[in-house]
Amino acid sequence: MSDDRLIVALDVPNAIAGLELAAKLGDAVSFYKIGLGMLTGGGLALAQELNDEHGKRIFLDMKLFDIGATVEAAVRGLAQFDLDFLTVHGDPHVVRAAKEGAANSDMKILAVTILTSLDRANLDASLLKAGDVQELVIERAARAFDAGADGVIASPQEAALIRALPEAIGKLIVTPGVRPAGAALGDQKRVATPAQAVTDGADHIVVGRPIWQAQDPAEAARAVLAELPKL
């Protein structure tokens, strides 16, 4: 069984490309993230096939945000797909509604604090609360945990600070923005290496382009896993 601390982001155009990539990765990867960009390309069907036919764990990254009743209904519908993780925005009313929708399933609700592609200038442009980005992430994480979130999505640079929160005991921290040593940053602004992210408290790391753009994706995945601290 491969190490499920690594989640590979299937940021490819459609389900066919996703299945082709999963075939290349084979037993090297046991956990996949399917995002909003894949939704119209057969993302839910891909999730079901990877789970049912190949025994893979699935993280559906939808980052849901709406009024409570709508979020609850959407999550209840998604829960039928036997997913492992689902993301929603970390606003307390959204988290509470998502937990209601997931109540009869094993699906974990992960709250988005502040997207790892955003910096203070982006937050200013969106008229969001003033203050240090890290401090806002920690505050949003604590509020999401209080609202019932099973975990949070946060930059690896905030993982240690979130892990230190009393509210974080027994909760999951999943970190995108992870780049193996020497990899290009792409559109991520708050990044760390796989080893640093896990050492700082991340339970799972999400890696996309450095793996699926590699000439040998399975070898690239094994190289990321080799960087992680031993279990």
Write out the catalytic residue numbers: 63
List own/partner pairs for 170-173 with CB under 8 A and 24 or more apart. 171/145, 172/85, 172/108, 172/110, 172/203, 172/204, 173/201, 173/202, 173/203, 173/204
Report angle CA 203, 146, 57 to the nearest 5 degrees.
Answer: 35
Residue 166: phi, psi to the nearest 5?
Answer: -55, -35
Assign 39 to helix, strand or coil: helix
Q: Which one-letter amino acid corresponds to residue 169?
A: I
Helix (H) or strand (E) holding 109: strand 108-112
What are the tokens at 10? 């299937």
